[in-house]
Amino acid sequence: MAELTRITISLEDTLLGAFDKHIAGKGYENRSEAIRDLIRDKLIREEAKEQQGEQVAVVTMVYDHHARELAAKLIDKQHHHHDLVVSTLHVHLGERHCLEVSVLRGPAEEIAHLGEELLATKGVLHGEITYTTGERTLNQWR
């Protein structure tokens, strides 16, 4: 592990109390690890917005599988970009609705385009794209 530096921060009592309650519920053993995770998360999200090279994204979609030809349209779009789709998970939420999670990896611009195209497909009820980063970036904070 990298060398650690001790810092001091000042917080209002109410903010600290809410933070402590939040991290206890998540299972953190101490504030330091929770704060490190928050900082890493923010840095990764900011970098992902600006990233140019290879990027990784997770596209989450909820849709009504009875919607006319929707599943076929989503599959066609993913097959058309087979080089970007690493894996897809399909979950039946109930009799009508499905959750689909696709992991995308490739050039940032192409990943963003495919993710937005999937979410914009008529019949997708809810979804989001979560961008993350690759090994190179993660290794710089070790």
- Listed by start position, the domains of the chain span 13-50, 54-138
Give residue 37's identity as a one-letter amino acid code: D
Which has the higher per-residue pLDDT, 88 or 50? 88
Angle, alpha carbons 14-20-26 (nearest 5°): 140
Q: How confident is the model at residue 51 (pLDDT cuts 50, 70, 90)?
A: low
Angle CA 118–111–120, to nearest 5: 20
When pLDDT is cut at 50, 70 and 90, the band that residue 108 belongs to is confident
Percent pLDDT > 70 in the chain is 89
Helix (H, G, I), strand (E, B) or coil at 124: strand
Structure tokens at 9: 């921060």
Closest CA to 45 of 116, 137, 140, 142: 137
C-alpha 26/C-alpha 35 separation (Å) is 13
| Short-list 82, 88, 90, 84, CA closest to 56 | 84
Q: What local confidence, expressed as pLDDT, does residue 17 receive?
A: 95
CATH number of 54-138: 3.30.70.1150
List, edge to edge, every strand of the sheet that includes 97-107.
85-92, 97-107, 54-64, 124-132
Q: Can you give the pTM of this predicted structure?
A: 0.71
